[in-house]
């Protein structure tokens, strides 16, 4: 082995006085440079379009990520559970939209948050839910702030802008003493698109339908100050947001392989990856086994129905550069199988037992949720070399790592066994 | 509404002085009667076949479940991570097989457990891994207990029984001072079968290949006392386990819809379900939205490629009786969409906002891992009505619930809003 290889190994293995691989695998990594670039990109776009940005924190569920979004100019947060609302409120985020229609049994918990000073807005899309909200508000002498969910693309929940019940729901809330804060929609079908033109059309449809719902409510004498739209693909595709007051998006902060398929990022924008260690081989089959299975990656196979099926994820070296045509073709609970992409021309590199690689996930929201902390890696040709706790976060602790320059990024240099 | 219906409602809502629906949804429920029946079934089968049972605790990761398995006669446990090994050892389980091939970087952690008194057995399937294990053992003056993984069905990892390297691995371990405890295999391809005959054939293949590997090692002069095989489908299908000393299985404790497809249980054996609340409707489409999405169910679509595709799960009433042809057809992070099974004749019942139902999961291992605790419900016509903490568990706390008889199990009776 040449001295140069020896140095590369030493840099990788012993750099900065710490073992750079001294992270128990599997582990979720966040590339801070990419994260900050993604956050800035969306914020600049929203600033240019003249709307507020209310990030959805369900993607990383991480206080430190949300702080970076706030520091960049975001206004308030969106959550998908009351637990998220509670945790982020405890960390100083008081302007919170709970963007899932609330069932009656959750109103006590929502009320408790509001009585502690959290400006929590809740969501309904039916007369039944609106009635329960106003009944609770009256019983407790505490009117809720409420938005009505609008169905702008037929993909999930909400009431259609032209549906007569939209006005009925508004009346129940308004007459019942609730504060009708506005309307919101999420064009989730954007995840199924993959051309800029189709995305622009859906973004315009999302805007148009939600603004139309607000106009109908206003025409019926209801106050409806807010018009909230969004998904990462539509937010990054909209060219006109007239009538919209805020945009919600979540996955943009770290992106993933589904978003790369949709076309709103490239794999080199993906800031979340899973660090994993090679544990074995089936040489005849060209399989390399790693210690990240679906517990680490999630069971999400979101790229299966898209233009480029990435299996359970794209394999990268430790700097986050994809290894050509190497993907995780299958996963068990704590085993992943790496192999060449079906039909690939290039042969996969031989990764020895003990070598580490990173895997970009199909769906960051699903993969992030499988981990109880993130390790933060630095940009460019540097790599994590240990960790110290920075600030406690939510379910996920955000850890800042010492970084060290390295000369070689080849996993071949990571051989550790004799 | 008739007095009888009124009483049913009261029983459901106020029974036993507690609100029976006072479980924050979504929540993971374990049906204790089914759990105990499943545990007894497997233990009796293994007793009759004359082998020890070493349950895999990765399915529920729950100390209380493992204690019930031990009380029924199980011997030791199987784990899929060193974290599980640590947690279960701390709870008094000292005979632990870590059934994933160990990379060199995890040997320190394994050694720490052994030095604390844990009889931890580790696994290798390559000369590289075996060499790292013996090198570490020599350096630390602490020989490891090691098994060799055998590939009996080509589905994942392990060395073939006839592979020359099997003996080489055994020699590295034996000559290097490690204790070669035996051979183990997992015929995971059994999950893809669905006839008793095919399952019996694979069970016999799993036995034959693993016994053959042991015989080859013994013929080469290596001690190889243990022959460990297993998966739930093969364990429940084997009729002859000559030469086998122990069987490993995990999902049998709670079963799931994949196992029902395979044919080794029925839906009424499934002891794990997710409790969820109705949050809205898209009446034109026949959709009912609930607050359990893929965060609660997992992204596992294990039945998609099987005879009966169950979507994200089968919808049941609160007693665990399936509602005919009602399944979760789609899921977002915190939204599930319930609808009639494609092509179903019967129309789905109208479930009002606030009603609760239970969802049987495709894959119990994946669904259980999404929750940080289980709520335990009682058998037959009773239902959970509150919870008190019983014993602290692993990641998952096992909570025992007060139960109450109820007269009606129809979700229609659960209407809570005015």
Crossing angle (nearest 10°) for helices B164-175 and B127-140: 0
Band (pLDDT 50/70/90 cuts) for residue A408 is very low
**What is the Cα B92 distance to its own chain's centre?**
20
List the one residue out of A140, A122, A100 whose CA is nearest residue B276. A100
A375, β-bridge pairs: A29, A399
Question: What pLDDT score does A22 carry?
Answer: 66
Q: How many CB pairs under 8 A join A and B?
A: 159
Dump pLDDT digits (tens) for B309-352: 999 999 998 888 899 999 999 999 999 999 998 887 767 678 99
Tell me if chain B has a CB within 8 Å of the CB of A378: no
Nearest CA among A225, A139, A149, A221 for reference residue A182:
A225
Rounded to 5 degrees, φ, ψ at A390 are -95, -75
Give yes or no for residue B104 having a pLDDT over 60.
yes
Degrees (nearest 5) of the Cα angle B367, B369, B373? 100
| The pairing of beta strand B272-282 with beta strand B322-331 | unpaired
Tokens of A178: 């609730």
A151-155, A264-268, A396-400, B206-210: segment of lowest average pLDDT: A396-400
Is the preceding peptide bond at A26 cis, omega within 30 degrees of 0? yes
Question: Chain A residue closest to B13 (CA)?
Answer: A105
Q: Is the pLDDT of residue A392 over 80?
A: no
Sole residue written with tokens 């392989």: A257
Q: Find chain A residues with C-beta within 8 A of B61's C-beta.
A: none
Q: What is the DSSP string of B153-184?
A: SSSSSSB-TT-HHHHHHHHHHHHTT-EEEEEE
Residue of A nearest to B301 (CA): A299
**Mean predicted lDDT score pLDDT of chain A:** 86
- Establish if B80 touches chain A: CB-CB under 8 angstroms: yes
What would the two tokens of residue A338 be?
């790496």
Total Cβ atoms within 10 A of residue A207: 25
Q: Does the structure show a pLDDT above 90 at B279?
A: yes
Taking the C-alpha atoms of residue A378 and residue A401, their distance in angstroms, rounded to an integer, is 8
> What does the pLDDT average to over A156-161?
96
CB atoms within 10 A of CB A304: 13
Q: Does A100 touch chain B (CB under 8 A)?
A: yes
Q: Measured in whole angstroms, how far is the alpha carbon of residue A374 from the centre of its chain?
A: 13
Least confident of A193-197, A348-352, B69-73, B212-216: A348-352
Asked if A21 lies within 8 A of B105 by C-beta distance, the reply is yes
Q: Cα separations (Å) of B331 from A185, A187, B289, B296?
A: 17, 15, 9, 10
Pick the CATH number of A34-254 from 3.40.190.10, 3.40.50.720, 3.20.20.10, 3.40.50.970: 3.20.20.10
State the pLDDT at residue B255: 98
Phi and psi for B290 in degrees, rounded to 5?
A: -130, 165
Give the integer Cα–Cα distance in Å for B206 and A202: 53
pLDDT score at A1: 28
pLDDT in tens, A11-69: 222 223 333 446 889 998 888 889 999 999 999 999 999 999 999 999 998 888 999 99
In A, minimum Cα distance to B80 occurs at A334
Of the pLDDT bands very low, low, confident and very high (cuts 50, 70, 90), residue A85 is very high
| Nearest residue to A37 via CA among A3, A68, A75 | A68
Provide, as residue numbers in chain B, all residues whose Cβ is less than 8 Å from the Cβ of A418.
131-132, 135
d(CA B140, CA B129): 17
- Average pLDDT, rounded, for chain B: 86
Q: How crowded is residue B127: how many other Cβ atoms within 10 Å of its Cβ?
A: 17
Q: Compute the average pLDDT of residues A212-219.
A: 98
Which residue spans within A186-316 are E strands per DSSP?
226-229, 246-249, 272-282, 287-290, 314-316
Whether residue A413 has pLDDT greater than 70: no
Q: Are A133 and A178 in contact (CB under 8 A)?
A: yes
Contact B277 A103 (CB under 8 A): yes
Q: What pLDDT, in 10s, does the model give residues A319-365?
A: 888 999 999 999 999 999 999 988 877 676 789 999 999 999 999 99
Domain chopping of chain A, boundaries: 10-30+260-405, 34-254
In whole angstroms, give the CA distance from residue A41 to residue A31.
15
Higher pLDDT, A381 or B356: B356
Task: Name which residue leads in pLDDT, B15 or A83.
Answer: A83
**Res. A305: pLDDT tops 90:** no
Q: Is B354 on the interface with A (CB under 8 A)?
A: yes
Q: What are the pLDDT digits (tens) for B159-188? A: 999 999 999 999 999 999 999 999 999 999
Are B135 and A418 in contact (CB < 8 Å)?
yes
- Specify the pLDDT at position A390: 32
Token pair in block for residue B243: 């030469």
The single residue listed with the structure tokens 């079908």 is A189
pLDDT score of A171 = 98
pLDDT given for residue A379 in this prediction: 53
In this predicted complex, what is the ipTM? 0.88
Phi-psi region of A243 (alpha: psi -120 to 50; beta: other; left: phi over 0): left
For B242-367, strand residue ranges (E) read 246-249, 272-282, 287-290, 314-316, 322-331, 336-340, 356-360
The mean pLDDT of A89-108, rounded to a whole number, is 96
In angstroms, rounded to a whole number, what is the distance separating the alpha carbons of residues A41 and A60? 18
Three-state DSSP class for residue A287:
strand
Pairwise CB contact (< 8 Å): A332 & B416: no
Residue carrying structure tokens 């315009």: A204
Q: How many CB atoms are located within 10 Å of the residue A352 CB?
A: 16
Interchain contact, A126 vs B353, CB within 8 Å: yes
Chain A residues with CB under 8 Å of B354 CB are: 103-105, 128, 132
Distance from the Cα of B195 to chain A's closest Cα (Å) equals 23
Q: Residue A241 above 70 pLDDT?
A: yes
Rounded CA separation A110/A117 (Å):
11
Which secondary structure element, helix H or strand E, spans residue A356, and what is its range? strand A356-360
Predicted confidence band at A4 (pLDDT cuts at 50, 70, 90)?
Answer: very low
For residue B184, give how far its alpha carbon lies from the nearest alpha carbon of chain A (Å).
16
pLDDT greater than 90 at residue A385: no
pTM of the model: 0.89
* Closest C-alpha to B371, from A294, A301, A110, A369: A369
- B25/A105 CB distance under 8 A: yes
Contact (CB, 8 A) for B174 and B223? yes
What integer is the mean pLDDT of B279-295? Answer: 95
How far is B333 from chain A, CA to nearest CA, in Å?
Answer: 8
Inform me whether the C-beta atom of residue B276 falls under 8 Å from chain A C-beta atoms: no
Q: How far apart are CA B115 and CA B220, in angstroms?
A: 31
| Correct CATH for A10-30+260-405 of 3.40.640.10, 2.40.37.20, 1.10.3720.10, 3.30.750.24 | 2.40.37.20
Q: Nearest CA to A29 among A408, A402, A401?
A: A401
> From CA A255, how far away is CA A276, in angstroms rounded?
20
Rounded-to-integer distance, Cα A94 and Cα A113, Å: 10
B280 within 8 A of A129, measured Cβ to Cβ: yes
**Closest CB from A126, A188, A418 relative to B281:** A126
Instruction: Give residue B337's pLDDT.
Output: 97
B-proximal residues of A, 47-66, CB under 8 Å: 58
pLDDT recorded at residue B372: 78
pLDDT at B410 exceeding the cut of 50 = no
Q: pLDDT: is B410 or A118 the higher one?
A: A118
Alpha carbon B161 to chain centroid distance?
Answer: 28
CA distance B228 to B77: 12
**Gap between the Cα atoms of B252 and B57, Å rounded:** 11
Percent of chain B with pLDDT over 90: 74
Per-residue pLDDT band at A318 (split at 50, 70, 90): confident
Alpha carbons A277 and B161: distance in angstroms, whole number: 25
CA dist A338 and A278 (Å) reads 9
User: CB A332 to CB B294 under 8 A?
Assistant: no
Contacts of B105 in chain A (CB under 8 A): 21-22, 24-25, 277, 354, 416
Question: Can you name the residues that pair with A96 across neighbouring β-strands?
Answer: A77, A120
Average pLDDT over residues A276-280: 96
- Local confidence band at B378 (pLDDT 50, 70, 90 cut-offs): low
> pLDDT band for position B110 (50/70/90)?
very high
| Residues B228, B72: Cα–Cα separation, whole Å | 19
Nearest residue to A334 via CA among A366, A281, A368, A293? A293
Q: Which residues contact A13 (CB under 8 A, 6 or more apart)?
A: A19, A20, A21, A414, A416
User: Mean pLDDT over residues B26-36, rounded?
Assistant: 90
Rg (chain B; Cα; Å): 23
| pLDDT at site B182 | 98
Asked, as a colleague might, if the bond just before B26 is cis with ω within 30 of 0, I would say yes
Closest to B317 measured CA to CA, from B201, B406, B256, B233: B406
Question: Do residues A21 and A412 make contact, with C-beta atoms less than 8 angstroms apart?
Answer: no
């Amino acid at each position: 082995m040449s001295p140069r290889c020896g140095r590369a190994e030493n840099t990788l293995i012993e750099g900065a006085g710490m073992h750079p691989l001294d992270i128990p695998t599997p582990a979720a990594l966040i590339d801070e440079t990419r994260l900050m670039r993604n956050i800035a990109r969306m914020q600049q776009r929203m600033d240019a379009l003249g709307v507020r940005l209310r990030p959805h924190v369900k993607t990383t569920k991480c206080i430190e990520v949300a702080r970076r979004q706030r520091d960049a100019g975001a206004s308030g947060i969106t959550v998908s559970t009351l637990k998220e609302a509670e945790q982020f409120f405890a960390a100083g985020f008081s302007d919170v939209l709970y963007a899932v229609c609330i069932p009656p049994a959750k109103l006590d918990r929502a009320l408790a948050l509001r009585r502690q000073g959290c400006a929590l807005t809740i969501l309904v899309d039916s007369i039944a839910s609106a009635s329960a909200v106003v009944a609770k508000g009256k019983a407790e002498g505490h009117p809720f702030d409420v938005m009505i969910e609008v169905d702008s693309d037929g993909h999930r929940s909400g009431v259609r802008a032209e549906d007569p019940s939209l006005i009925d729901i508004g009346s129940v809330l308004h007459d019942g003493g609730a504060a009708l804060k506005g309307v919101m929609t999420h064009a989730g079908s954007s995840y199924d698109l993959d051309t800029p033109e189709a995305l622009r059309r859906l973004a315009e449809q999302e805007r148009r339908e939600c603004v139309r719902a607000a106009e109908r409510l206003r025409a019926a004498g209801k106050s409806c100050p807010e018009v909230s739209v969004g998904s990462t693909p539509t937010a990054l595709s909209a060219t006109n947001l007239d009538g919209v007051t805020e945009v919600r998006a979540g996955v943009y902060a770290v992106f993933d392989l589904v978003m790369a398929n949709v076309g709103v990022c490239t794999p080199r924008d993906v800031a979340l990856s899973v660090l994993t260690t090679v544990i074995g081989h089936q040489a005849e089959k060209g399989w390399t086994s790693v210690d990240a299975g679906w517990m680490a990656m999630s069971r999400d196979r979101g790229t299966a129905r898209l233009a480029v099926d990435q299996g359970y994820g794209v394999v990268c070296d430790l700097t986050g550069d994809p290894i050509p045509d190497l993907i995780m073709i299958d996963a068990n609970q704590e085993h992943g199988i790496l192999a060449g992409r079906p039909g690939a021309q290039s042969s996969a590199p031989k990764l020895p037992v003990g070598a580490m690689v990173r895997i970009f996930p199909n769906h960051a929201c699903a993969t992030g949720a499988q981990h109880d902390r993130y390790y933060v890696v630095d940009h460019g040709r540097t790599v994590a070399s240990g960790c110290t706790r920075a600030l406690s976060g939510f379910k996920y602790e955000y850890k800042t790592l010492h970084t060290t320059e390295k000369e070689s990024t080849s996993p071949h240099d990571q051989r550790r066994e004799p």
